[in-house]
A = this chain, B = another copy of it.
Amino acid sequence: MGSNSYIIVTGGAGYIGSHTVVELIHHGYNVIIIDNLCNSSYEAVARIEFLVRKSILFYDIDLRDEKQLSHVFSSHNIQGVIHFAALKAVGESTKIPLDYYDNNINGSITLLRVMGKHNVKTIVFSSSATVYGDATRFENMIPIPETCPNDPTNPYGKTKYTIENLIKDLHTSDRTWRGAILRYFNPIGAHPSGLIGEDPLDIPNNLLPYLAQVAIGRREKLYVFGNDYESHDGTPIRDYIHVVDLAKGHIAALDYMNNLKHDIGLYREWNLGTGKGSTVFDIYKAFCKTVGTELQYEVVGRRDGDVLNLTANPTRAKQELKWNAALNVEDACRDFWKWTTENPFGFRVDNYQWKLFNESDTPNYKNRLHTVKFPDLQVSFANYGALIQDVRYKDRGLVVGFQEFKPYTSDDNPLFGSTVGRYANRIANGSIQIEGTTYNLDKNQNGSTLHGGRNAFNRQYFLGPISKQYKDSNTLEFILLDKDGNNGFPADVETVVKYTVDNNSIEIEYQSSICEDSLKDATAISLTNHSYWNLSDGETIDGTILKLASDKYLKVDPKTLLPSGEITQSTQPLTKSIELVPDVSFDNCFIVGESDFALDTRSRELKAIAEASHPSTSIKISVASTEPAFQLYTGDNVDIDPFRARAGFCVEAGRYLSAINYLPWSKQVLLHKGEFYGSKLMFSFTC
């Protein structure tokens, strides 16, 4: 496939869609997700991006909107479509059939018409074993082959059946169309990462989600609908297939069509099932084993329309698509349990919301602003530079930041709130040596490299975040893949920035490592956060009372501002407390641990390195870290509307200034493949 050609996945934010997108990317496909999010969440897309370390084009479009849909097809080179988007709850479909017919059929008609107009004639259609209806009405029809006559018994199934027919009729009218119809049996499980899974918004209809909610205490007990069927334990038999296997079936179908000769069309149905039936009790037992508890259940009467056995005959897919379900029910139980315990409410996270940060005509989902809100503390983070845009403690703003996105991209922005990397602070002459090789970095300040260069971490969109909620705190995890050669640094480096916010603190955890497939094995790395604090009720920090854990700092050449290796002591009583009167300025690297050269400091206890307050407010900030040093900067060079000099001060916990170029210190910042760079910082607030 061409490197610029895309597979469109409609409904790619949904359960099966999201798992399929992950597999598509793992198989080298470029993906565009189209989803109107009517029954799914953009969180799924953010998590896929996190999982695959790749940005994915996303359009919030209803398929019935022909104009918007056409625009997507006109804007990209599309090679085919995997079409999941549909309303899919059988019970609901009997209550609001018009919505089902309209959304599912009309959406498909519009999609197919737009495809045809753009000469995109390859579609994988997400169908369902529901189209068979009650296959037990025939003799010897279990396991169900694709040749079983169709007779769907509910509006949902009828819409799937109608769309299958539409694709079939379209292929008959124009034999160059390629349509692969995939009829799913009972998808279960979740991605083994625990990041994506089924997210039932209501009472779950499906067995495993229901059982999982019993297991975590959201439901009292499982209801078993009939135990008088002719199975080994009396409960009905279904064909449960792990969602990752199912997802891979789509890749197999796509590959199958791509391997057809040029101009050869196709219309073909394939069952995606395991061929192995499991009873309700089989699943129940497997899941109880995974959880390690006997979950409560009650046997009640049979449900209308339920039949003994609906197991797939998957022979056709095995033979033709070379596809096989590789995972079993135990795998599904394990993965689903991980998903449930790590995301007890699915993608819904309390205390958290996001919005687009830069609202242009075409929404850019890469550029979002995420707010975590507790009663006393509210913090906003942007994907851009994984920066802290706003900190409000007891309704008072404490950091310098812009309301709008644009000024963050200005050359005059002194990295307000940003994650600083790949290399914080100054590197003399923009040159580093790593194991005998000299790398020339981007020189962005007076012949030196400051904060990593021009296209550094603070100028890139981090992927994610993974947003999670714990008992008393929320976390947001961002990830950045910084490519080998960017700004001159060697090696592909993956960096995770994890923020933990509770009612009175923000913790930051940094972790970097060289990607396994990086061509280079070593690099320099040094990360910190560049928030400008102002605790006063005025526009400058003047009058701030400051106390540091250390009054020792690295001596620097007054001309180059670079360290000589010598440590000196401040003449000010910094470890007691000083007032930041207008003529007291700092831009110094203070030393906390004099012979501390660890690469990953995360296992240490957080140690207070600075405390500050201002008499005009009663708010106190305490900065703690696991790091051997911190840069104290009084913001004297700030000059970007509406902010002026001394608008905020920074306490940038991290490694020794320019450690990479001073051999005794370089262990702090020299990262090899297989190692982790790591650190923790924390800002706490009291009143």
Find out whether the CB atom of B98 lies under 8 angstroms from the CB atom of A112: yes
Interface-forming stretch among A165-173, A194-202, A274-282? A165-173
Find out whether the CB atom of A94 lies under 8 angstroms from the CB atom of B172: yes
A384 to B637 CA separation, bound complex (whole angstroms): 85
Find out whether the CB atom of B162 lies under 8 angstroms from the CB atom of A97: no
Interface string of A94-106 (1 = CB under 8 A from B): 1111100110011
Find out whether the CB atom of B158 lies under 8 angstroms from the CB atom of A97: no
Contacts of A172 in B (CB 8 A): 94, 97
Partner of A105 from the list B93, B97, B151, B162 (CB cut-off 8 Å) is B162
Contacts of A97 in B (CB 8 A): 166, 169-170, 172-173
Question: Chain B nearest CB: distance from A515 CB in Å?
Answer: 46
Interface string of A116-127 (1 = CB under 8 A from B): 100000000000
Contacts of A165 in B (CB 8 A): 155, 158
Question: Chain B nearest CB: distance from A181 CB in Å?
Answer: 15
Contacts of A318 in B (CB 8 A): none
Contacts of A428 in B (CB 8 A): none
Contacts of A149 in B (CB 8 A): 151
Chain B's closest residue to A171 (CB) is B97
Query: This chain: how many copies in the complex?
Result: 2
Check A109/B113 contact, CB under 8 A, given A95-B173, A97-B169, A158-B169: no
Chain B's closest residue to A99 (CB) is B113
Chain B's closest residue to A97 (CB) is B169
Find out whether the CB atom of A109 lies under 8 angstroms from the CB atom of B109: no
Interface string of A409-448 (1 = CB under 8 A from B): 0000000000000000000000000000000000000000
Question: Chain B nearest CB: distance from A177 CB in Å?
Answer: 10
Interface string of A641-653 (1 = CB under 8 A from B): 0000000000000
Find out whether the CB atom of B113 lies under 8 angstroms from the CB atom of A102: yes
Check A169/B106 contact, CB under 8 A, given A158-B162, A162-B162: no
Chain B's closest residue to A158 (CB) is B165
Question: Chain B nearest CB: distance from A200 CB in Å?
Answer: 22
Contacts of A158 in B (CB 8 A): 162, 165, 169
Find out whether the CB atom of B116 lies under 8 angstroms from the CB atom of A109: no
Question: Chain B nearest CB: distance from A87 CB in Å?
Answer: 13
Chain B's closest residue to A98 (CB) is B113
Chain B's closest residue to A105 (CB) is B105
Question: Chain B nearest CB: distance from A287 CB in Å?
Answer: 34
Question: Chain B nearest CB: distance from A589 CB in Å?
Answer: 67
Contacts of A155 in B (CB 8 A): 165-166, 169
Chain B's closest residue to A115 (CB) is B98
Contacts of A105 in B (CB 8 A): 101, 105-106, 109, 162
Contacts of A112 in B (CB 8 A): 98
23 CB contacts below 8 A, A to B, read A93-B169, A94-B169, A94-B172, A94-B173, A95-B173, A96-B173, A97-B172, A97-B173, A98-B113, A98-B166, A98-B170, A101-B166, A101-B169, A102-B106, A102-B109, A105-B105, A105-B106, A149-B151, A155-B165, A155-B166, A158-B165, A158-B169, A162-B162
Excluding A101-B105, A102-B113, A106-B109, 18 further A-B contacts by CB distance (< 8 Å) are A93-B169, A94-B173, A95-B173, A96-B173, A97-B166, A97-B169, A97-B173, A98-B113, A98-B116, A98-B170, A101-B109, A101-B166, A105-B105, A105-B106, A105-B162, A149-B151, A158-B169, A162-B162
5 A-B pairs with least C-beta separation: A97-B169, A155-B169, A102-B109, A162-B162, A106-B106
Which residues of chain A have a CB within 8 Å of any CB of chain B? 93-98, 101-102, 105-106, 109, 112-113, 116, 149, 151, 155, 158, 162, 165-166, 169-170, 172-173
